[in-house]
Every structure is written in structure tokens, then in C-alpha cells.
Amino acid sequence: MRYFLTLYILAIVAFIGIAGFRGEITRKPPIEVFPDMDRQMKLRPQEPNRFFGNQRSSQPYVEGTIARGMPYQDIPVNTGRISGSTNWVEVSPIEITESVMSRGRERYNISCAPCHGAAGDGKGITTKYGMVAVANFHDARLVEMADGEIFNTITHGKNLMGSYGANVKIEDRWAIIAYLRALQRSRLSKMDDVPEPQQAAL
Ligand code: HEC
């Protein structure tokens, strides 16, 4: 009984000390033993900032890139399909010029020829190392295939062929298709396609 009063008072003090003032609102910052990167230097969007040459914190997109998650327009150039439908566009939506054609040849030889062969006959170098069933562009089925479907195959791949959408940008895909058509044409042309003055030489 001698210690009861002392222990009783100690218990009350301890209780109030630990639980008594919890939930109090204060404007003072809490004591921070480990700040855990709570506060960091950062750029706020749309604020001026002297770090970049143009003094803006929000920088324009790097040319040729697309922001991830951006909705993209449902137009034939992007999808190879007639807008609002699932039907392929028969003919390339871009204008085929000489520079498009030579760009197409260059890109074809980089991205497609290793498998499909420089002549498009499906006998690229990879077939010598075990790549099987590479499509031959001179097959009637692929000659007749709509440009839009070929665009889709480049973008998303098909069966054994992987997708090249991430490696080959949109304009280049259409340029490749133009060149691929020229390859096909090279085996389909008739004597009448040769300009008359050159016919005699053949
Ligand atoms: C790594 C090898 C490889 C590369 C590179 C490649 N392809 Fe293919 N491609 C294939 C194979 C294999 C098939 C046959 C797919 C199947 O039917 O299983 C194919 C099929 C195709 C077809 C026919 C699809 C169909 O509907 O049957 C087209 C068109 C085509 N490729 C175009 C291209 C173009 C254009 C490129 C260049 C951008 C390219 N491919 C690059 C391996 C490749």
C-alpha cells in the first residue's frame, strides 16, 4: 500500500504522456528522423525553369516520337484500314514519289531483306540459319493482298513473323510497301510495260 499512490500517479502520467495528446493538430513540422525522399527538387509543369535553353519546364516532344497512351487518329495512314471500319485500304494512302521509293528500298533492305530476301522471294539469309516458312512476296496471294493488310502485318506481325511497328516508323512502312510492290511488279511485267525504244534491246 505504501507504493500504491506513487505507482498510481506514475501510471496516470505515463498514460497521458503516451496517449493523451494524440490527434492534436499542429502547424509545426513533425520531427523527421528518416526523411525518406519525401521532399525533392522537381519541375512543376508549365512553370518557367532556367535549366533548359528555352526556359520552359515542359519540353515539346522529341521529333518523331509519340507520347505513350496518346489516343491516335483512326485514319488509314495510321491503321491501314478504312476509317471507322475493319476493311483494309486497297491502295497506299501516301503519295509515291521517287524519294519515297528509294527510302522504301533502303528500309526494306535493312528491315525485311534479312528474312524475305533482297528479291522478296522469301530466301533471306536467316533461312540458312533455321528461319522457316518465310513468306514469298511473289505468291499470288500476297500480290493480291491489300496494301493496308501488309501495313498491318508490318505493324503487328503475323503468325511466325514478329511485329516491326516499334522499329519502322509509319511513313517508312508505307515506303517499304511501295518498294515491295515494285519487287512484285518486277516479276509480273509484260513486254508492253517496257517503253518501246527499249523493247528491241530485250
Ligand atoms: C525475322 C524474319 C522476318 C523479318 C525481318 C520480316 N519478316 Fe515478314 N514474314 C516472316 C515470316 C516467317 C513470315 C510468314 C509468317 C507466317 O505465315 O507464319 C512472314 C510473312 C510476311 C507477310 C505475309 C503475311 C501474310 O498475310 O501471310 C508479309 C506481307 C511480310 N512478312 C512483310 C514483311 C515486311 C514488309 C517486312 C519488313 C518490314 C518483314 N516482313 C520482315 C519473317 C520476317
What pLDDT, on the 0 to 100 scale, is given for residue 69? Answer: 63
**Between 39 and 137, whose confidence is greater?**
137
**Between 52 and 93, whose confidence is greater?**
93
CA 198 to centroid of ligand 1, rounded, Å: 35
What pLDDT, on the 0 to 100 scale, is given for residue 82? Answer: 94
Cα distance between residue 80 and residue 146, in whole Å: 9
Report pTM: 0.71
CA 113 to centroid of ligand 1, rounded, Å: 10
pLDDT in tens, 80-113: 999 989 999 999 999 999 999 999 999 999 999 9
CATH number attached to the domain at 119-190: 1.10.760
Q: How far is CA 90 from CA 76, 93, 146, 157, 189, in A?
A: 10, 9, 4, 19, 20
Residue of 105, 115, 152 with the most ligand 1 atoms within 8 Å of its CB, for mutation:
115
The domain limits of the chain are 119-190
**Between 60 and 128, whose confidence is greater?**
128
In the three-class reduction of DSSP (H, G, I as helix; E, B as strand; rest coil), residue 32 is classed as: coil
Provide CB contacts within 8 A for 40, sequence distance 6+.
Answer: none
At residue 78, what is the residue type? N
User: If pLDDT is split at 50, 70 and 90, which confidence band does 20 have?
Assistant: confident
DSSP 162-186: PP-TTTS-HHHHHHHHHHHHHHHHH
**Pocket lined around ligand 1, Cβ cut-off 6 Å:** 111-112, 114-116, 126, 131, 133-135, 142, 150, 153-154, 158-161, 164, 168, 176, 180
